[in-house]
Amino acid sequence: MNADVEGHYKGEGNLADKIAAGLEESGKSLDDLKTTDLATIDEFHIRGRKATLELGAQLNLGINSRLLDLGSGLGGPARTLAETYGCDVDGIDLTAEFCNAANVMSSWLGLTGKVYCQQGDATDLPFPDDHFDAAMTIHVAMNIPSKDKLYSEARRTLKPVGRFAAYDVIQGDGGDVHFPVPWAREPAISHLATDDEMQSLLTQAGFRILHIQDSSEESLEWFEDRMKQLTDSGQPPVSFNAFLGHDYPVMVRNQVRNLAEGRIRTIAYVCEG
């Protein structure tokens, strides 16, 4: 299962090199790069950097905080919050190629000492108990069947009363998902929970849910914008197609349908440990 998930994401060739080439094509210099220059590829979730900042604002982060990012991808959310709050971030992700690229991208931005991404499974964390001040996971649980382990590991490694935020794609009541989607080309690696299931999973893991934000309508507008951009101007030089490949425009079209037909929702759960 893990190999299939990694196979879905890793793409072909050296991802950091491809991103560097895309940046050069769009006239950006690696010597003068900003985190926002990478947001079209390293904020790999619906509503992008805006959603990361919304989540970060609810995590009680400060300069002395240590934040865990479960399923850190290319490290965009981790860098955005390290830069915004001055916190240190540990990322863990199944896809080795993403972790390698994430650490190279952090070096481009002078954030090597603040953000470190390592390869691993978020359902079996290599961190001690009560280690982190805050934790988050963004668009990861939909690849994980054993979500009870994901959330119990988040709870175990979080200090008491630390904040945990989970922002994910949730199964709606409009029927089965149209594939391919950005997290899966086929149902075998897609494991969406319903809102009710999420609430009971988080509670059973020992979290108290403080706040629930359903952003599905905004997510539909976000994907409609992506589709319009693809139709009007094609793929930008720095975009998810660097690893998702030629399927990406089809995935965007399917996501518009999935959201419009209520097959999926996007919901953030902010919890206290």
Ligand X SMILES: C[S@@+](CC[C@H](N)C(=O)[O-])C[C@H]1O[C@@H](n2cnc3c(N)ncnc32)[C@H](O)[C@@H]1O
Interatomic CA distance for residues 89 and 82, integer angstroms: 7
> By CB under 6 A, is residue 73 in contact with ligand X?
yes
Single out the residue of 95, 152, 254, 258 in contact with ligand X (rule: CB under 6 A). 95
Specify the DSSP element, H or E, that contains 266: strand 264-272
Q: Which stretch binds ligand X (CB under 6 A): 57-65, 87-95, 158-166, 211-219?
A: 87-95
Single out the residue of 140, 202, 252, 270 in contact with ligand X (rule: CB under 6 A). 140
- Outline where 57-178 has alpha helix (H): 76-85, 96-108, 147-157
> By CB under 6 A, is residue 183 in contact with ligand X?
yes
Name residue 262's amino acid: G
On the 0-12 / 13-18 / 19+ scale of CB atoms within 10 A, 259 is buried
On the 0-12 / 13-18 / 19+ scale of CB atoms within 10 A, 247 is middle
* Phi, psi (degrees; rounded to nearest 5) at 132: -105, 150
* Phi, psi (degrees; rounded to nearest 5) at 201: -60, -45
> By CB under 6 A, is residue 138 in contact with ligand X?
yes
**In terms of CB distance, is 14 or 64 closer to ligand X?**
14
> By CB under 6 A, is residue 71 in contact with ligand X?
yes
Q: Which stretch binds ligand X (CB under 6 A): 41-49, 108-116, 204-212, 217-225?
A: 41-49
Interatomic CA distance for residues 63 and 3, integer angstroms: 36
Applying CB under 6 A, the site for ligand X has a residue count of 24
Q: Which stretch binds ligand X (CB under 6 A): 116-124, 195-203, 210-218, 256-264?
A: 116-124
Interatomic CA distance for residues 206 and 162, integer angstroms: 12
**Touching ligand X, residues 214-253 (CB under 6 A):** none
For residues 67-77, b (16+ Cβ closer than 10 Å) or e, as one string?
bbbbbbbbbbb
**Touching ligand X, residues 158-177 (CB under 6 A):** none
> By CB under 6 A, is residue 190 in contact with ligand X?
no
Tell the smallest beta-carbon distance from residue 116 to ligand X (Å). Answer: 15
Q: Which stretch binds ligand X (CB under 6 A): 79-87, 93-101, 172-180, 249-257?
A: 93-101
Interatomic CA distance for residues 264 and 216, integer angstroms: 8
> By CB under 6 A, is residue 5 in contact with ligand X?
yes
Interatomic CA distance for residues 57 and 51, integer angstroms: 10
**In terms of CB distance, is 45 or 63 closer to ligand X?**
45
Residues of the shown chain interacting with ligand X in the complex, contacts defined by CB under 6 A: 5, 9, 43-45, 71-73, 76-77, 92-95, 98, 121-123, 138-140, 143-144, 183
